[in-house]
Amino acid sequence: MNTIITKRYGKSSTKLGLTLALTLSLFGQVSAQQVWSPDNGNGTFTNPLLWGDWPDPDVIRVGDDFYMISTSMHYVPGAPIVKSKDLVNWEMVGYAVDHYDEDPRYNMEGGTLYLNGSWAATLKHHNGKFYAGFCTPYGWGREKGNFSICEADKPEGPWKRTIFPEYLYDPGLFFDDNGKVYVVHGQGTLYLTELNEDVKSVKSHKVKIWQGSFKNANELGGHFGMEGAHMYKINGKYYITCPAGGTQGWQICLRSDNIYGPYEHKLILNDNSSYPDNGLHQGGMVQLKNGDWWFIIMQDRGAIGRVPHLLPVKWEDGWPMLGTGNKDVITYKKPNVGKTYPIKTPATTDEFNGTKLGLQWQWNHNPDNSKWSLQERKGYMRLHAAHADSLKTARNTLTQRVQGPSSEGTVEIDLKGLKNGNVAGFGIFEFPYAFVAVEQVNGKRKIIMSNDDKIIESKENFDGDKLWVRARITDRGGIAKFYYSTDGENFYVIGNDLTMQLGLPWTANRFALFNYSKTAEGVDGYADFNWFRFTNK
């Protein structure tokens, strides 16, 4: 049996860890967490911008600050927003949606709504207010669903959401300089819908502005309809950027003197060299104070998710051409924002010492807030069990992104509060999922490793009150390995490898903490998570 020797993890080491992080920062290191950073510390950056699942990015500048919004599918809270001073170093600031109340299945009542939630988010700032929009498809389809606009005075919130009766798929919100408000939307066929000035209702019927193929379509692999559109007005002309071709796709730009067209078009990026055969597609562009333009664009990286890249924009004959020679050359000089800013990355590690849940965390559906607490036992995330047959139907599964090029998550779990029927543990969540947990039956406990709902290995008659669980994932190949420890020092391989997949399309794998009960008797049980610690290996 393989053994991994590690230093003992304990909260007494927190102060030492903070001191170490401060020391390392003086030498331009990322941090003691070792999260991937694109910032090379020498005035350049290397793509990807964030090596995790930040799909369908849209980006804006407000004064000296840049904000990016992302799709989050069924995860709650939804539509995450990050902030940067230089387009390279980012930190979380909040979410546009704190819960979904339009269907009881978001509460896992009468079913589940995996894959629903926020799709293709759009972000704008207008007259002192932030506006975030997204569509919420019914199931996987593009024909039915809802469209929402969320409004706030600041990106941290609070946000107020308006759900429209109309369904505007893959929306791109646009404020024209004549006071009118529009959404460009659709897949294959693109439409323009005018909203009322309060951005709370539709003013007129949708108008078709684009349909059909484009130059280079056949040589690129045939006709793929454009979607994920974002609209801009630059030097009196209307521009719409949109991806086509799906996972292997590329970026197209439409241009017209009139917002309703007719539009001419041009291929502005076609490159899959950084992660063959997956092309860079879907994103948004932003202008710096000095007039430069940059584009944040995503790339599918399998089980890790859809990761954003940052590319310079070079204007040629009035077209925004991306990258260098229509390619992403991976490493560039950082955007010229007039200053050098410190390295920052969105949070990962959590000691659970705060009074609020860290912004890195999202629940698998709307949480039952009566079933979790950071207050009942200070310094711990307490998860009370809810009745479920499996992790797939368990509410209050707490997740955050796995990250590339490889990453590792470790938790310490106090098990004193478990009741019969409880399954409490840590693992990798998608479909399929795998985990290591302690299951209690008839007063007896065992350590189990489950892969795709099959118990691969078990350790019977476990009589400890603490368990440490570790999951390691790799970007290439999408493999997750699992380990356990009963003393916090010696970690042992358990079970088999999970080949991470995308059974929930377009939704990345995630680290997941959970506690559910297979019996009604166990709903009073609880598990206390002392900490979650992330490293990029």
* Per-residue pLDDT in tens (0 to 9) along the chain, 537 residues: 444 444 334 443 333 333 333 333 333 333 344 789 999 999 999 999 999 999 999 999 999 999 999 999 999 999 999 999 999 999 999 999 999 999 999 999 999 999 999 999 999 999 999 999 999 988 655 678 999 999 999 999 999 999 999 999 999 999 999 999 999 999 989 999 999 999 999 999 999 999 876 666 655 655 567 899 999 999 999 999 999 988 989 999 999 999 999 999 999 999 999 999 999 999 999 999 999 999 999 999 999 999 999 999 999 999 999 999 889 999 999 999 999 999 999 999 999 999 999 999 999 999 999 999 999 999 999 999 999 999 999 999 999 999 999 999 999 999 999 999 999 999 999 999 999 999 999 999 999 999 999 999 999 999 999 999 999 999 889 999 999 999 999 999 999 999 999 999 999 999 999 999 999 999 989 999 999 999 986
Q: Which residues are catalytic?
A: 56, 227
124: which strand partners?
131
Half-sphere exposure of 428 (CA within 13 A, CB side): 34
Nearest to 119 by CA among 76, 163, 75, 71: 71
What's the number of CA atoms in the CB half-sphere (13 Å) around residue 437?
30
What's the rounded Cα separation, in Å, for the pair 302 and 430? 12
Return d(Cα 405, Cα 35) in angstroms, integer.
10
- Measured CA to CA, the distance from residue 182 to residue 229 in angstroms comes to 12
DSSP string, 492-530: EE-S--EE---SSTT---EEEEEEEESSGGGGG-EEEEE
pLDDT at 26: 30
The C-alpha atoms of residue 392 and residue 215 are separated, in whole angstroms, by: 44
What is the rounded CA–CA span in Å between residue 251 and residue 297?
9
Helix (H, G, I), strand (E, B) or coil at 17: helix
CA distance 289 to 373: 44
Entry field: residues in the chain: 537
For 38-69, write each residue's pLDDT tens digit: 999 999 999 999 999 999 999 999 999 999 99
pLDDT for 480 equals: 98
CA distance 533 to 32: 11
Query: Which residues are 424's β-sheet partners?
Result: 438, 515
- CA 422 → CA 412, 454, 525, distances in Å? 17, 17, 7
Q: Taking a C-beta distance cutoff of 8 angstroms, is the pair 437, 448 a contact? A: yes
| Backbone angle region of 166, left / alpha / beta, with phi > 0 → left and psi within -120 to 50 → alpha | beta
Residue ranges per domain, the chain?
33-333, 362-535
Under 8 Å between Cβ of 40 and 29: no
Query: What's at 525, amino acid-wise?
Result: G
The set of residues, in sequence order, having a beta carbon less than 8 Å from that of 125 and lying 6+ positions away, is 60, 62, 67, 131
Strand partners, 256: 238
Please check whether residue 134 is in contact with residue 171, taking contact to mean a CB–CB distance below 8 angstroms: yes
**Which residues in 25-49 are b (16+ Cβ under 10 Å) and which e?**
eeeeebbbebbbbbbeeeeebbbbb
Which pLDDT belongs to residue 23? 30
Most distant CA pair in the chain: distance in Å?
Answer: 74
- Cα 49 from Cα 36, distance rounded (Å): 9
Q: How far is CA 23 from CA 16, 26, 27, 29, 359, in A?
A: 11, 5, 7, 9, 25
Find the helix or strand (DSSP H, E) in which 159 lies.
none
How many other CB atoms are there within 10 angstroms of residue 331's CB atom? 11
Its sign, for the CA torsion 164, 168, 174, 176, is: negative
Written in H, E and C, the secondary structure of 222-276 is CCCCCCCCEEEEECCEEEEEEEECHHHCEEEEEEECCCCCCCEEEEEECCCCCCC
The CATH number, out of the four listed (3.40.50.300, 3.50.50.60, 2.30.40.10, 2.60.120.200), of the domain defined by the range 362-535: 2.60.120.200
pLDDT at 415: 98
* Amino acid, res. 159: W
Q: Which amino acid is at 342?
A: P
Q: Write the class of the CATH domain 33-333.
A: mainly beta
State how far the Cα of 431 lies from the Cα of 13, in Å rounded to an integer.
36
